[in-house]
Structure 1
Amino acid sequence: MILNPRLAAELGVYNWQLVAQVREIERWRAVVAAVVTRLGGDAEAVELARLGVSELLCNVVKHVQHDPRCELKITREGETIRVSVDDNSRHEPKIGMPDWSSESGRGLWLLGEMVQDWGFSPRGGGKSVWFRFPLTAVSARPTNGRSR
């Protein structure tokens, strides 16, 4: 968990090392909601964070079965929040127009439509997948851009 909660609050950075497991995703949704609220996020920001962390952790469970250890990080960057999950897979997330008749494959696309920005980048032997959104709906200016 957080090593020094006071320092984390002062810096606006929270991070955890965890093993992605389906049975733990609701717990992490609650943790992320509490942190985003503490950082000044409104109800819309909290819901975006909950949805996004579910998607990123579910993707680790589904696609990184060989080593589901990951790092979840929440950072306040001015008037925005950045949530990232670093995992141990080099496979880039695939996104395109979803197949609406499929049982899966829409999560990142939907997330990308709702957040200000999202992307991924190589990290060590794996990657970091992240999304960014405004603290409050008033400051929301979606760009729908995707960065790497």
Structure 2
Amino acid sequence: MAVAVRSIECQARGWSLTASAAGIEHRRRQTAVLLQEWGATQRAVEMARLGVSELLSNVVKHAVSRRCSLRVSRIGADAVVQVFDQSKDLPVIERPDWMAEGGRGLWLLREMADGFGYMPKPYTSCSGLALGKVVWFSCWGAFPSDGTA
């Protein structure tokens, strides 16, 4: 029996970095330019800018080390953004207190993105392997001209 297999275009770009509040805008812009070069929709570009801000801000605020990796992938018609860090502590996402000054970023990202998740994962750095996690979100249909939908 023959099985038809459809090829899905995949592209990825990643950066190892030290997260800092001052550097977040640069990474937002870098992600936006990459997605625009790949032909992403404006909605996907804006979602990615928002998500990169939130994920890198959380590395700055909560991770044991600010060393991390940012990866942007195009998988078929979808965009996926991942941040890998060295902290073993997984995010805790609760319904936010709307009167508080903070504490709602990941909740909003989860609600706005088409996909969202996190999991423990080994983090590979130049100095070796450390325990850590990956937090990711996706924008479905970010590349409507992909032709695989």
Aligned counterpart, 1:6: none
Question: Contact conserved, 1:17 with 1:69, CA < 8 A, in 2?
Answer: yes
Higher relative contact order (CA 8 A, sep 6+): 2
Asked which structure has the greater CA Rg, the reply is: 2
Percent identity between matched residues is: 45
Q: 1:67 corresponds to which letter in structure 2?
A: S
Question: Contact conserved, 2:36 with 2:45, CA < 8 A, in 1?
Answer: yes
Q: Which has the higher helix share?
A: 1
In structure 2, runs of 5+ residues without a counterpart are 1-8, 123-130
Question: Contact conserved, 1:12 with 1:39, CA < 8 A, in 2?
Answer: no
Aligned counterpart, 2:132: 126
Question: Contact conserved, 1:86 with 1:127, CA < 8 A, in 2?
Answer: yes
Across the two proteins, how many residue pairs are aligned to each other?
129
Question: Contact conserved, 1:44 with 1:137, CA < 8 A, in 2?
Answer: no
SS at match of 2:101: coil
Call closer, same or farther: CA 1:138–1:12 in 2, change over 3 Å.
closer
> Structure 1 length normalisation: TM-score?
0.82
Question: Could you say what the CA RMSD is over the residues aligned between the two structures, in angstroms?
Answer: 1.8
Q: 1:95 corresponds to which letter in structure 2?
A: I
Over 4 Å off, 4+ runs: none
Aligned counterpart, 1:146: none
The whole-number CA distance in structure 2 between the counterparts of 1:82 and 1:138 is 15
The whole-number CA distance in structure 1 between the counterparts of 2:42 and 2:143 is 9
> Structure 2 length normalisation: TM-score?
0.82
